[in-house]
Amino acid sequence: MQMQYAAIVVVLLVGVFVYWGYRSRKGKPSEPKRSTASNVISMDRHRKAKQSAVEQPCSSCKKKNGKLIFYAQDNGTVVGLCKDCKAKAKKRDMLPL
C-alpha cells in the first residue's frame, strides 16, 4: 500500500518538473521575431536621419537661420520661428514649447 503512494508521489513530482521545464523554455524565446509591419521605429535610423537633416525654414520668414524656437499658437498649431521673428511671437503672446 505504501509502495503505491510512493510511486504516485514520484510520478507527480516528475510531472511537476517536466511541466516546470516546459514553462521555463516557453517563457524565454531564443530569438526575437522580426516583422516588417510594426509601429516601432529603429532609433539608429532616427539618429542618422537627425544628423544628416538640413536646417528647417522659419514658419514666418521662410529663411533657414539655424535653430528654430517652437511656439504654440492660439488655435493649437505649432510654429517654428527663428531668432529674428521672435519679436512676432512675443507680440502675439505665443508660448514657447
Helix/strand/coil (H, E, C) string of the chain? Answer: CHHHHHHHHHHHHHHHHHHHHHHHHHHCCCCCCCCCCCCCCCHHHHHHHHHCCCCCCCCCCCCCCCCCEEEECCCCCEEEECCCCHHHHHHCCCEEC
pLDDT (tens digit per residue) in 47-82: 777 665 567 888 888 888 778 889 988 888 899 898
Predicted structure pTM score: 0.44
Give the domain ranges of the chain.
1-26+55-96
